Structure formats: structure tokens, C-alpha cells
Amino acid sequence: MRDGSTRWITLAELTHPDIVAFDAARPDFNVALAQFVIALLQSIDLAADEDAWWDRFEQVPSAAVLQQYFAPLEEAFELDGPGMRFMQDPDLPETSESPVAIAALLIDSPGENALRNNSDHFVKRGRVEGMCPSCAATALFTLQINAPSGGAGHRTGLRGGGPLTTLLELSPARSLWHDLWLNVQPRDSYLRKSNCNVEADKPGARFPWMESLEVLQPGESISPMMVHPDHVLWSQPRRIRLDFRTTTEGQCGICGRKDQILVHQYTTRNYGLNYKQGWLHPLSPYYEHKDEWLPLHPQTGGVGYRHWSGWVLGQDSPKHKIRRAAVLEARLKADFSVGQDLRLWCSGYEMDNMKPICWHESRMPLYRLQECDAQQTQRISAAVGAWTQSAQLAVSQLRSAVRDAWFGAEAKGDFGAVDTAFWDKTEGAFYLSLRILMAEVLQAGLDEDARHEALSQLNQDWLNTLRKTTLHLFEQDFVGTGAIEKQNPARVASAYKKLRGSLYGKLHKELLNIPL
């Protein structure tokens, strides 16, 4: 809540003005809950067109109105019962001779190999013995939308395993409703822009758990034209059915609340819905690979300003093309002026095949980017692209210098700590420069010469930041911290001289359009 307290709510209460954020026990649950509500709002006709969308943004619907819109979908969101169940395979039995522990719904739970080899050193087994229905539903949805590869026939999600999700937010926060509504598109444009089949009318075409697998996927895979556009938001690659026959009363292993129903296990089978190429999810950016658009995934090093240009503006260079998320594309092209800044909430699992490496989550300021026209956006893109390229060159030069000083040029190994320190140290300066640039681009009355002079000064200031930070990291944080008797002074001096020469050479100036 706005005052910092926490409470449990119903879905219809989401529009309460004092609710500002989700507060689940796990960060991946918070992002999943946001995607769940966005998917639900997108699946109802709450805003038929752009004018109606604005009405819902400015005049927030009441709980009664929201409940009225949710009512027709209630049948599809039953978690327990003899019929169709939310995110569960209707063809599976509730119990089986080889049930799976409920903790396996959590992506970071140790797998069968880890348990067999006793290698669950950091994430231990037995942390979660039972889940309340609320946490079980959230865990189930989180797994289905992020599903990593899970062995033979255990399918990955529609966006692959551990996709990158980018969501728009207001900065500062206004309410949770406003943040979620930013990521919902008007119904008419959402359906028009989808590459799925708007005419698909089978029960499972929208919600896959409402149809038998054989009916929904008669062949080896499922394609966009076989389902309704809403299906993209409710993808179900895993065949799972929760066991509500062997529940007990007790304390939930996730949220800690006492509940009369704790779910301990579930039944699963492999070879579920097989999402091949061609799927486009509105909450993820995509990159082009061999004439095919693939969803981006978080990589080692986390989320930082080096991703700002591609994820926020997109990229269209001959060697690397990125398409920003569809909701971001829709909002930044809708003359969305609300008198305050925006930011991008970026998150996702970094995966190594079946193993989660890290959960990455960060927020990128967009400032008043939504108020920029095409020409102004192009100016920002060119400047930010040059800053990012020069930073990538600087971190590469720093990494090489540290390696040469420590071991010599032939050494192999992981120098990721050097990269991480560099990006962390320069992030503040980048966003300060971006804020100044945005203000100057939007400032009326500046002539072309004044704009050019202001950008030249920003470029020079950025180069000074790169030089100062890179040399400081070499001198103070990495090489300079070692005992002198354990180092090779000649090798250190040579690496330092080469690093300074690179930083003050012509490559950085050429990238930043600074006169030589």
C-alpha cells in the first residue's frame, strides 16, 4: 500500500488508488502477477479503442465495474474441481503413482540430477513442502510463462526458457492500476497487430487449458494461426495437474500464511504444446537471427544502460536488429503525455539450458521520451548509440589491460568482474547525460548551432567520464590493489601505458564525433 503496509486483495480491488505495487515473497512472482493482470485486462474488452483506453487511465474503473468485466471469464479461472482448471492439462489424472513435489514448480528448485548427485549446494531441497492455493496458482503461472527446458519433451515457454520481460511504469509511481494499464493495448489495435487468428473460436484457442491437447495441437507443434491472439498471453507448454486430493492444513512454504489447504504435489507428463517459430509476445523485445525474429533473454552481467538503446528504441543496423516490445512501441507512438516521466521495468531469468543462473531485475528511466517526435527520437538514438559504443570500447580496453597486467596477453579466463564494475561505475553518469540530452532535445527555441554545441559538450563530458572511471578501476580497484612484491611492475607499466594510449587515442573521438 502507499503507506508501506501490505494486504491481500481480490482482483477487483486492483483499482484502489492506494495500491502501488505487488509484494509477493519472491521477485519472479511479482513480475508474474503483473503479467497475469495485464493478460487478464488485455483479454477483456475494457477499452475497445484509444479513446476508451484514455478514459480508463484518467477515470479508473470501480471494483464493481471490473468484477462485471471479469465475470464472463470466471469458468476459465477455476484452480480446483472436476472440469477444466487454470493452467492445468484436462487430460491428466489428479493423482499418479509418481507424483512430483510441489516445490518443482519453482524454477530455481534443484532438478532431479541435482538431487541424485547431491549437488544442491546453494538452493537446497526441502525448502517448500506445501503451498497455499494462491501461491500454487502463482507458481504455476510463473512456470508456464518462463518455462525452461526440462528434459525430453518438457517444452519451453512460448518465448523460450527465461524470457526478458519489459513493462512500462510511471515515475514516480501513481498507482498499481496505472502502471499495469500502461501495458494494456486498446482491444482493436491489439487484435489488428497480432499475427494470430482473430477468428479462432475453439474454447482452448484463447485459454489452452480449456481444450484437450489433441484437439488444440493435432500435429507436432502449434502455430500462431491456429489460436486466438489472447493465447499468446496464456501459453501453456507444460502438462501439469495439481493434486487437491492429498492436501493438508498448515503453513504455506512461500507466503508463510496458515491455510486449510496446502498443495504438496502434482502430476505431470511431457510433450505438451510445442511453440515453434513465429510467435510474438507483446511484453518482450525481439532480435533478428537468420531472417527470423527471436525473443531476447537476460545474459551474464545483468541489465544495464548498455541495453537502453536496443530495448527502448530498437536497433536497425545491418549486423544487429532489435525490435522493442509491442506495448512500448504502442505507447511511445501514441503521443502519450501525462506530465511525468516513464521508466522500463526489465526482468527475467538467465538460464543455462535447464539450470537458472540468476534472476535479473532492473528499472531504466525513460524520462519524457514519449513526448519526442520522430526527429527528436532519432537525435537521442544517435547520441545514446555513440555513448554506448564508446563505453563498450572502453570496457574492452580495460579488460585487456587488467588481463595483461595480471597474467600477460595469452591468459584465458573469466574477467566478468571487470565488466560489471565498469558498467556499475558509469551508469549514474550515463543517465545524468541522458536526462540533460532529453531536456535539450525537448527545449523549444534552441537553434541548430546551439543543439550541436550542447551535444558536443555532452560527448566530451562522457569521454572524460570513461577515461577517469577506466583508469581509476585499473589503478585503484583491480591492478593497484595487489601487493607490489607479487606483481610484475614492467608488465603493469606496459599495460597501463597501452590503456592510456587507447583512451586518449582517436577511436573514442571518432565514435563521439569529437575533433581530433
User: 96-116: per-residue pLDDT in tens?
Assistant: 888 999 999 999 986 555 544
State the Cα–Cα distance between residues 278 and 292, nearest whole angstrom: 8
**In whole angstroms, what is the distance from residue 149 CA to residue 157 CA?**
8
pTM assigned to the model: 0.94
Task: Calculate the alpha carbon distances from 245 to 80, 139, 242, 262, 269 in Å.
Answer: 10, 19, 9, 10, 19
Q: Are strands 248-251 and 355-367 parallel, antiparallel or unpaired?
A: unpaired
* CA max distance for the chain: 76
Q: How far apart are CA 367 and CA 433, in angstroms?
A: 12
Walk along the chain (516 residues) and give the pLDDT tens digit of each residue. 999 999 999 999 999 999 999 999 999 999 999 999 999 999 999 999 999 999 999 999 999 999 999 999 999 999 999 889 999 999 999 888 889 999 999 999 865 555 444 544 445 545 799 999 999 999 999 999 999 987 777 899 999 999 999 999 999 999 999 999 999 999 999 999 999 999 998 889 999 999 999 999 999 999 999 999 999 999 999 999 999 999 999 999 999 999 999 999 999 999 999 998 899 999 999 999 988 999 999 998 889 999 999 999 999 888 889 999 999 999 987 667 787 899 999 999 999 877 889 999 999 999 999 999 889 999 999 999 999 999 999 999 999 999 999 998 888 888 889 999 999 999 999 999 999 999 999 887 788 889 999 999 999 999 999 999 999 999 999 998 777 777 889 999 999 999 999 999 999 999 999 998
